[in-house]
A and B are shown apart, each in its own frame.
Chain A
Amino acid sequence: MTVIVAKELTTALTALREHADARLIQGGTDLMVEINFNHVKPTTMISLRDIDSLRTIRRDQPGMLSIGSGVPYSIIEEEPVLSDIPALSQAARTVGSPQIRAAGSLGGNLGTCSPAGDTLPVMFALDAMIHLNTLDSSRVVSIHDFMTGVKRSVRQHDEIITSIDFPIVKGWQGYSKVGVRNAMVISVASTCLVADHENATVRIALGSVGPTIIRCREAEAWLKANHDLSAGASISLDIAGEFGKRAAAESSPIDDHRSTAAYRRHAISVLASRLLRKAYQ
């Protein structure tokens, strides 16, 4: 194995182009487990740990927060993300343990692209944009186009995820996750709900209940068509319950070692209705 410790993005991008077999490593919280247990045997590793430009949080344009792909969850838990994108801070705080959150990053969550990735439902609910760079080009991809399946994305071999743009939305937002305990848990089902007061809409995205994150467009449209969703509106228990059922109907969970499809569907209906009630309390 060869290990390349890049300090500049261009160094990493050059190495990536030169080595068709290279694997990228940022926090290592997924890949090192695979290596420790001999599940994968990479021949070339490119470490992004020391690239400072991937660890910045920027406010380049109004109404947008751009978070570097290497910013660890422990930083995302705090300001300024906590005020600007509270659902992302909440999701970050549910990842693993403090030790995992000091290492793991949004870039890693996107690179691995598991349907159980804790921050991905937040990206789907907020229509986040993913910046990808090669040595001589760059592109910006909507999260909806980025994730194509279980651990599959449109990222090409010679591309590095550099940052993620999050629109700052006025209104309540929250993230909830079901697992067997509070810490160190991979989600059985998760939900991010964003109330956009300016546009009087609610957006909801589900994790761990399908091959990709699922945005419940039909439940969103039903809610908007039938109820006032501007700031100060109220949501009855009946409406919240119906919304939960409709969101759950859009999920497509499976039975696996972590839970059953029936339980996951039930969990989604509860999470969705609770989050909606909280949003309009």
Chain B
Amino acid sequence: MSANEFYSLHVNGKTMPVQDSWVGESLLYVLRERLGLPGTKGACEQGECGSCTVLMNGNAVCACLVMAATAVNSEIVTVEGITSESTLTDVQQSFVEEGAVQCGFCTPGLIVAVHHLLEKNPQPSEFEVKEAISGNICRCTGYGRVFAAVEATIRSRNEVK
């Protein structure tokens, strides 16, 4: 594969061609600027803030640290693809109801990280929740409302059972 060569990524269940790009672009840049998926946010571009968290083969990673052209064989899920429904997920709804969204910039990354946590560990301890979102920086909430939203999601999922 050489500069500007055409390649495709598998994003949110679809094969998406990437055109007119520089082949060294990060997955974050490609998602936002080439594939029209601006839900994934870019802030630090050095893996420090977690706002660009996406799922890659089921693992939560920073899209800014993935060279998009190396992800041609991977399944990518962004916040846009976290649900196939047109409504909010239970995690998203809890974030809204518990006031875990303020400026909103960190929110997509947190939503992906929390979905990933609850997928792997449906009954996390307080410590496990803290560790799971330790790579997602929020400058507004002080995290208290975020923890409340995670707890509310777990509570509502337990009630459904």
Contacts and interface: CB of A to CB of B under 8 A. Distances in A.
Contacts of B31: none
A184 B46 CA distance: 11
Interface of B: 1-3, 22-24, 26, 45-48, 50, 53, 56, 59-62, 64-67, 69-74, 113, 131-132, 134-137
Interface stretch (A28-36, A214-222, A264-272): A28-36
A125 B132 CA distance: 29
Contacts of B56: 102
- Secondary structure dominating the interface of B: loop
Nearest to B46: A33
A47 B67 contact: yes
A100 B134 contact: no
B73 A33 contact: no
Interface residues of A, number: 32
Contacts of B66: 28, 32, 103
A133 interface: no
A64 B119 CA distance: 33
B47 A99 contact: yes
A33 B3 contact: no
A76 to B, nearest CB: 14
A37 B46 CA distance: 9
B134 A28 contact: no
Interface in A1-16: 1-5, 7
A184 B47 CA distance: 9
A97 B70 contact: no
Interface in A170-198: 182-184
